[in-house]
């Protein structure tokens, strides 16, 4: 079954058939605006999806051909991953300035239409400054509600654009609203993509209050956490310095998602969440 309820539908309403087409120009806006209910259900444990925790990946990776650990070994360090969805946007340059000043790497799950194609220089900068650049699909279509060919197109196009801009094809993706199923897993495997979910959400799509966003993240943060934020919203980027400083004071070390999994690595077709 899909990971969450679909946009604009109460939790009690059963989901529509998988292959139903979504029509109208309001898909992206309505999907983003309705994330609150969907993400709340995801994090409440109501979801039915097999996921693998970072600690499991690290343990398994220690017995195989290891990925590069880099400068942080999360088997011993108290690691946490900062991730941003749905950019780049007009706010991303300031966010990159903050991350550079704080010496914090992040993972960016980028949208294609009106984002990658509008801010290509920011995509290049993300990669050049050591961040992990990943996919959030081309147009934020709900993958569990479209055909297999449409899923492939939603995943293929941002991969090609990111590879063209950065020289590296993404290996990670995050499904819009966290909605995924066996068909999405299968197609991700075909395309060499692993799915990454999250354990911390500030619900920054519901508020412009940066202090509230900060409190929500700090209340949920724990070792191996994956923090979900959106640099497209006005209140989010101003909250980032306080989030970083407070978590560093608690002994957390910020890493990208691949660093969180090392010496293991994400496998295409698998879903990862703390």
Closest by Cα among 42, 52, 5 to 185:
52
Report the distance separating Cα 189 and Cα 195, nearest Å.
10
Answer yes or no: 131 catalytic.
no
Q: What is residue 177's DSSP assignment?
A: G
Report the distance separating Cα 271 and Cα 192, nearest Å.
13
Answer yes or no: 85 catalytic.
yes
Report the distance separating Cα 44 and Cα 247, nearest Å.
23
Map tokens 């309705």 to a residue.
Answer: 34
- In this structure, the strands spanning 200-201 and 271-272 are unpaired
Out of 136, 140, 185, 230, which one is annotated catalytic?
A: 230
CA distances from 239 to 46, 74, 235, 255, 272 (A): 29, 25, 7, 18, 26
* Helix locations, the chain, DSSP H: 27-33, 35-43, 54-61, 92-102, 120-128, 148-166, 182-190, 210-220, 236-249, 257-261
Q: Quick one: tokens of 29?
A: 């806006």
Q: List the beta bridge partners of residue 253.
A: 79
Report the distance separating Cα 185 and Cα 42, nearest Å.
17
Out of 85, 139, 204, 224, which one is annotated catalytic?
A: 85
Instruction: Give kind and range of the element (H or E) at residue 255.
Output: strand 253-255
Decide: 161 and 137 in contact? Cβ < 8 Å: no
Catalytic residue numbers read 85, 230
């Amino acid at each position: 079954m899909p990971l969450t309820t679909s946009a604009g539908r109460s939790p009690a309403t059963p989901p529509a058939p998988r292959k139903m087409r979504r029509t109208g120009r309001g898909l992206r806006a309505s999907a983003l605006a309705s994330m609150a209910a969907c993400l709340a259900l995801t994090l409440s444990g109501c979801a039915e999806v097999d996921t693998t925790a970072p600690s499991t990946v690290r343990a398994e990776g220690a017995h195989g051909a290891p990925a590069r650990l880099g400068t942080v070994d999360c088997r011993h360090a108290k690691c946490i991953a900062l991730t941003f969805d749905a950019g780049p946007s007009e706010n991303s340059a300031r966010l990159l300035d903050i991350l550079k000043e704080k010496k914090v790497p992040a993972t960016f799950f980028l949208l294609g239409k009106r984002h990658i194609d509008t801010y290509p220089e920011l995509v290049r900068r993300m990669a050049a400054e050591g961040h992990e650049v990943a996919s959030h699909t081309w147009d934020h279509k709900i993958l569990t509600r479209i055909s297999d060919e449409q899923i492939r197109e939603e995943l293929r196009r941002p991969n090609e654009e990111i590879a063209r801009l950065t020289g590296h094809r993404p290996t990670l993706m995050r499904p819009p609203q966290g909605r995924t199923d066996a068909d999405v897993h299968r197609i991700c495997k075909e395309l060499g993509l692993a799915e990454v979910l999250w354990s911390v959400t500030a619900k920054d799509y519901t508020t412009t209050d940066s202090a509230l966003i900060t409190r929500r993240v700090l209340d949920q943060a724990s070792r191996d956490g994956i923090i979900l934020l959106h640099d497209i919203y006005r209140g989010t980027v101003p909250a980032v310095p306080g989030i970083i400083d407070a978590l560093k004071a608690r002994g957390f070390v910020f890493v990208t998602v691949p660093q969180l999994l090392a010496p293991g690595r994400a496998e295409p077709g698998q879903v990862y969440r703390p």
